[in-house]
Amino acid sequence: MVINALIAASLALTSTTAPATAQATVDCSRVKCLALTFDDGPGEHTPTLLKLLKKEGVKATFFLVGRQVVKHPEIAKRTLAEGHAIGNHTYSHASLPTRLDDEILEELKVNQEVIEKATGYRPTMYRPPYGSTDARVLNLANQVDLAEILWTGTTLDWSLKDAAKIKAAALKLAKRDGAILMHDTEPGTVKAMPEIIKELKKRGYHLVTVPTLLRGKGPAAGKSYFKR
Ligand SMILES: [Zn+2]
């Protein structure tokens, strides 16, 4: 009886803590979807962003830098637990095409290990820092079983800094099936997010993760998405 009660309790717990499942029911071939993506974290502003996304019922995608994950493993774990998608953004934010094969593999592999250690999950996608990539880099990423995720628009939030300007840039880039690049390390971006989300919802967008946006047809290792 005690064991049955424990199983029932754990099942109840599972069903109330699975926001990712609800997200999977969004069919982006039927509704207007957009993916908000955040690079370079986790950092000190990430918890504020996570709190907002949770409140708004929005799922996003985070491309994590390994040396940041080492500093904030609990934030990386929380990001995944709250139903967001996470990907690899290299260990040290290296510009990959300038590196040797072994160095590129190292940047990707070490970060896979670091993220898996922090979250229990091994990413299936990566985003090259600065969007710098080529056929050699893509082939090496394939060896680490990673899909390459670029973007359809960048806010250049790291340069704009000002929340009002970042908001205007993000809204201008919004389009169906788009993937917008921002940084959770930028305080102006985190500050602008409540209004960005409010306006995007008003325009009818479902804000989803990159895998949801790809409608189950990816991410597939060795393939590049959102090529500009
Ligand atoms: Zn970056």
Cβ neighbourhood burial of 218 (10 Å; 0-12, 13-18, 19+) = middle
pLDDT at residue number 8: 47
Q: How far is the CA of 64 from the centre of ligand 1 (A)?
A: 8
CA of 21 relative to ligand 1 center, distance in Å: 28
Domain that holds residue 107: 22-225
Phi, psi dihedrals of residue 220, rounded to the nearest 5°: -110, 135
Q: What is the CATH number of the domain that holds 186?
A: 3.20.20.370
- Which residue among 39, 40, 157, 184 is the active-site one? 39
Read off the pLDDT of residues 120-149 as tens digits, 9 standing for 90 and up: 999 999 999 999 999 999 999 999 999 999
Count up the domains in the chain and report the number.
1
Do the domain assignments include residue 8?
no
Q: Confidence class of residue 10 from pLDDT cuts 50, 70 and 90? A: very low
**pTM beyond cutoff 0.95:** no
